[in-house]
Structure 1
């Protein structure tokens, strides 16, 4: 499926984000780097929800913070409406952040417990000099009503709200400046299941009403399936598969995607009993010294010698649609079962020793 420039809101092009590891007391020396994001390319279209899934530590949240401008990238560029945000001035970034907001994972830690809710939601108006006094209070109360909160609770503290209500406060704060893109960093993972459904339904209603675009990060595949138009699967800093949500859930092509889907909970007990679980061997390798070639090869049930030395490109494979991209030399075939397979390539070491530094 071809995508025109007007349809693309965000374009991530060859983005790397590495965090240096330093040792020493007086003279600190860089001895290694954490490869949090390592060459990611993806696009976010206007009005859609792009789901990003993967195990903890795969780089989902770091990528989200790069897209919102909270982390400077090590290499690559991020285009928002065609403008490179990685080269923006401080003033340019401030204007950019009016169009891009974030909903954080922890509804407790993301709100200052010493400040009243009205002040927290009104911060964007104060920072950007949009409204003050009675006008700001009126706007904040309208936002509270929009997300299902009682406007009369304007002067309450966060501790006086439940977990789901606190996340609604975070949603209201993100909506204050009428952004074009909202990055949802696991916004329901800290909530009870019944409250999760309420918050997800709220986000869907707001998207339809306000024409929002979402990047939705989660590790719960059932949640991502429910809310996402397209899905990108990340492993150890890289996107290993990307496709329309229905295509990926019906026929995952990367062995890692197939393993994730096999571990997802199924509501139908008969279907759950028939499902075959793909059990991955070993732990996720260290991002300090990721494996050569395909990063998934030490745990992959289909790995061969080529996977150790040659990194696969993220391209369409075989008869897949043009927008179904897979980074795998030997993708999963239709009706192929990986449940009884084991990793074919052993990993030598996943925890590299850091060199000693003279102090």
Structure 2
């Protein structure tokens, strides 16, 4: 299979199941958590792919599969022309230099007993790239690049604010000049004004260094602001995948439509005019996912064939070339715009992302 040179990551039909075992001495598998179930994506060089969905939908698990932190159950992940799906141990070391991760919690992701210079400099030591004065110089350059004072090289994480700690995490991720950075909800633990600073920093770094991002978040306005394309996940599968503007202006999957109707709006008058789509029932268990379309137990448009037949993720009639939806009865674009017009107008600006 020949891969497009513009594609950095090719994800083909990837599954990640976590076994549930019982027994004290002789453990046996009694069930499986279907965290990721048959996901296929392309991530192109220099772009940002946003992944959104409710908690437990599998977006963070997918991110950890992409970075090699979780071995996949089935499928294939090709990174920069190399199949990394079956690589283990030292085979992954060259790959680790090209893929880094920014974690959600800036407090828990930094060792409080180590100085900032040592934390940022770890990648240089692990990969044998720099040591001594050269290592210190590179670490201070990274600190300056992300907006930290290089003179604070010997401080501990507790001496920094939450936003500064996340900048430390970003500096560590940049140390080896990676091709791909996976941002797993990098601003959700920060105040809104600090979120804007970190988001703008990430965008500036992408432009300056030619980075590719996978950006995971709950906040739809943040995802729209940073993403070129957006994948909406539900219970381990992709429900909709499209160019960012196209997805927000013409959501086709009922689940995407419901997510947009619940997005926060700064203007209280617009929020009051908007029609809210309330989904009934709870998210089904990933241990026993529903048959057919996984969204059918909560979908207001579900019919009998939704229970029996799983919809394909394909381009529907009348949609843009790269707008894919997994739904037998997609939302009419006129209908989605009518119910979400106020929300879309607000999300197309940056009211929840004040300038830094």
Distance 1:89 1:290, change over 3 A: closer
Provide the residue aligned with 2:250 in structure 1. Answer: 251
Provide the residue aligned with 2:195 in structure 1. Answer: 196
Q: CA separation in 2, counterparts of 1:151 and 1:257?
A: 44
Q: CA separation in 2, counterparts of 1:68 and 1:4?
A: 19
Contact in 2 for aligned 1:141/1:151 (Cα 8 Å)? yes
Distance 1:116 1:230, change over 3 A: same
Alignment of 1:138-217 (within 5 A): 138-217=137-216
CA offsets, 1:257-306, max 9 Å, x none? 00000000122333322211100001100000000000000000100001
Give the superposition deviation at 1:338: 11
Give the superposition deviation at 1:7: 1.0
Q: CA separation in 2, counterparts of 1:118 and 1:203?
A: 21
Contact in 2 for aligned 1:104/1:187 (Cα 8 Å)? yes
Give the superposition deviation at 1:192: 0.4
Q: CA separation in 2, counterparts of 1:298 and 1:201?
A: 39
Provide the residue aligned with 1:125 in structure 2. Answer: 124
Contact in 2 for aligned 1:278/1:338 (Cα 8 Å)? no
Determine if the alignment matches structure 1 residue 278 to structure 2 residue 277: yes
Provide the residue aligned with 1:345 in structure 2. Answer: none
Provide the residue aligned with 1:94 in structure 2. Answer: 93
Which blocks of at least 5 consecutive residues in structure 2 are unaligned? Answer: 340-356
| TM-score (structure 1 length as normaliser) | 0.92
3-state DSSP class of the match of 1:34?
strand
Provide the residue aligned with 2:107 in structure 1. Answer: 108
Contact in 2 for aligned 1:277/1:339 (Cα 8 Å)? no
Contact in 1 for aligned 2:251/2:336 (Cα 8 Å)? no
Determine if the alignment matches structure 1 residue 313 to structure 2 residue 309: no
Distance 1:293 1:339, change over 3 A: farther
Give the superposition deviation at 1:339: 10
Query: Runs of 4+ in structure 1 displaced over 6 angstroms?
Result: none
Provide the residue aligned with 2:7 in structure 1. Answer: 8
Contact in 1 for aligned 2:10/2:43 (Cα 8 Å)? yes
Q: CA separation in 2, counterparts of 1:72 and 1:334?
A: 39
3-state DSSP class of the match of 2:97?
coil
Determine if the alignment matches structure 1 residue 85 to structure 2 residue 84: yes
Provide the residue aligned with 2:333 in structure 1. Answer: 334
Give the superposition deviation at 1:25: 1.1
Q: CA separation in 2, counterparts of 1:42 and 1:240?
A: 12
Determine if the alignment matches structure 1 residue 21 to structure 2 residue 42: no
3-state DSSP class of the match of 2:333?
coil
Give the superposition deviation at 1:92: 2.7
Q: CA separation in 2, counterparts of 1:4 and 1:12?
A: 11
3-state DSSP class of the match of 1:298?
helix
Contact in 2 for aligned 1:276/1:339 (Cα 8 Å)? no
Tell me the C-alpha RMSD between the 2 structures.
1.5
Give the superposition deviation at 1:321: 1.3
Q: CA separation in 2, counterparts of 1:318 and 1:269?
A: 36
Give the superposition deviation at 1:79: 0.4
3-state DSSP class of the match of 1:55?
coil
Q: CA separation in 1, counterparts of 2:76 and 2:233?
A: 19
Distance 1:51 1:118, change over 3 A: same
Distance 1:89 1:35, change over 3 A: closer
| TM-score (structure 2 length as normaliser) | 0.93
Give the superposition deviation at 1:88: 2.4
| Bigger helix fraction | 2
